[in-house]
Structure 1
Amino acid sequence: MANGPSGEGVIERLIRVLETFDPDHTAQTASQISRRAALPASTGHRVVAELTAAGLLERDDEGRARVGMRLWELATRGSLALGLRQAALPAMERVQSAVRQHTQLAVLEHDTALFLERLSHPEAGANITRIAGRLPLHASSSGLVLLAHAPREVIERVLASPLPAVAPDTITDSAVLRRRLSEIRRLGYAVSPGSVETVSTGIAVPILDSGTVVAALSVILPRGSRDETRTLVLLRDAAADIATTLAQARLFR
């Protein structure tokens, strides 16, 4: 791919444009995209036009660009994330039906917890997590489970980085975090009261595939809930069911 005057390749510019879309910026003008992507206006407008012509972006009634269905289609084809989500959904639905609280599936991606699915209920408590949203690994119960079982280099990289507080009870001390990760590996689960939102407690367990932790399954309870023990049992049973489903799917590939 040809480079622009800055030496940046075409792929890098495309990614910068696509990364400007998030839950708070679902529809943008080409000028807004250019500013948020830190691209010259002419470059931004050209990239947006090319992505629109390819169907990766679409125009709404006001002429603003949105992520196109074709981008979703291409990203979904053969995706490992899609297979994991499909394997997890039946067990997630059983958990969510029993606890009537947010039930979530997350994976480790680029040193963050990336949430692939979230099932909710009208009576569920506070939760900032969104599908395709990310949280720092040290902040959420899912992230702590994923980090505890991550490769050593990932753990050390996170421990060596600043640990910003998402909420007042987020772990921000690397020594405390190291001890917590060891405890999670020993216990096989994480309970995080107030680490993302003061009023909520996250409970997460690992999901294994061929002995490797590939995801985390979590429930967000109101803080102080008496359902923590029951929820943990439900999550462990669900994680075991998901692991069995993944193993069976592998047999038929």
Structure 2
Amino acid sequence: MSAEAAETPDEQGQARSGGRVQSLDRAVALLNAVATSSPDGRSAADLATACGLNRATAWRLLATMEHHALVDRNPATNRYTIGFAVSRMAATAGVDGLVRRAHGALERLSRTTGETANLAVAQRLGLTYVDEVAPPTVLSARWLGRDVPIHATSAGKAFLAWLPDKEVETLLDSPLPEFTANTHTDRDALRTELFEIRAQGYSEGAGELESLVNGVSAPVLDAGHRPIAIVSVGGPQDRVPPSRFGEFGALARETAQEIAAALL
């Protein structure tokens, strides 16, 4: 018997593809197709056609990726979008490159507002600030490297507002601690606020994590309209009162859009 005849079907598939695993090639092709789909996602049938796969194979691969949160399926439409795990891994792997591309925009935001500008990414079940620019002439809190809860900061709420409902429910499943009298711990009220945040394009936080600190945030969105980072600007409530939220929110949104364009 020849060496080729002794190979298993899987080994033959790997040999023909230069040592690659055919099923993994197919899964990656599906994942890329999901990533380039519209914000509303695509059905399994559409994705199978786009990748040249039969529907049964595509469905099994998508179901496996959904189990691992690599894709997310809308139960109402059965359309697939990129899952939270992909954004989390991308943020973790690409922090250095993200910071390099975003730093100049943060500097301009801080200079324009006269306040501290931050960049946060998703880490585990919260957010971590990975870059910060503070004005040299004002005293400000240092947030760089800090992990913050997603329900009690403008950054966290901006992140939640652009996630699919299923992921939001998962992230808000555990008890929401109250840090100040202003912390939003009612899930129904928070869901309503997230809808409003998405409509206006930025979030607001008024003393929710620290009673004397206010801020606004906007998401850096990828091609699938998922948040890959969050831009924030804030400071003491006497310098960042609610009357300035609209002004600062618009600037944060513009900065986030600038960063997103630099990542393309």
Give TM-score scaled by structure 2 length: 0.59
Distance 2:194 2:155 in 1: 12
The structure with the largest alpha-carbon Rg is: 2
Matched residue, 1:152: 165
Matched residue, 1:91: 105
Name the amino acid aligned to 1:245: A
Matched residue, 1:229: 246
Matched residue, 1:216: 230
Matched residue, 1:239: 256
Matched residue, 2:114: 100
When the two chains are superposed, the root-mean-square deviation of aligned CA atoms in Å is 2.0
- 1:78-227 correspondence to structure 2 within 5 Å: 79-124=93-138, 127=141, 130-210=143-223, 211-223=225-237, 224=241, 226-227=243-244
Matched residue, 2:29: none
Q: CA deviation at 1:137?
A: 0.3
Distance 2:236 2:139 in 1: 6
Distance 1:225 1:162 in 2: 28
Q: Secondary structure at the match of 1:215?
A: strand
Distance 1:237 1:178 in 2: 24
Q: CA deviation at 1:231?
A: 1.6
The 8 Å contact of residues 220 and 229 in structure 2, kept in 1 or not, is answered as yes
Q: CA deviation at 1:149?
A: 1.8
Distance 1:180 1:81 in 2: 29
Name the amino acid aligned to 1:94: R
Q: CA deviation at 1:225?
A: 5.8
Which deviations, in whole Å up to 9, do the C-alpha atoms of 1:18-71 show, x marking residues without a partner? xxxxxxxxxxxxxxxxxxxxxxxxxxxxxxxxxxxxxxxxxxxxxxxxxxxxxx
Q: CA deviation at 1:169?
A: 0.7
Which deviations, in whole Å up to 9, do the C-alpha atoms of 1:116-139 show, x marking residues without a partner? 111112454653x52221001001
Distance 2:234 2:143 in 1: 13
Which of 1 and 2 has higher RCO (CA within 8 Å, sep 6+)? 2
| Structure 1 unaligned regions, length at least 5 | 1-77, 248-253
Q: Secondary structure at the match of 2:172?
A: helix
- Number of residue-to-residue matches in the alignment: 169
Name the amino acid aligned to 2:152: A
Matched residue, 1:5: none
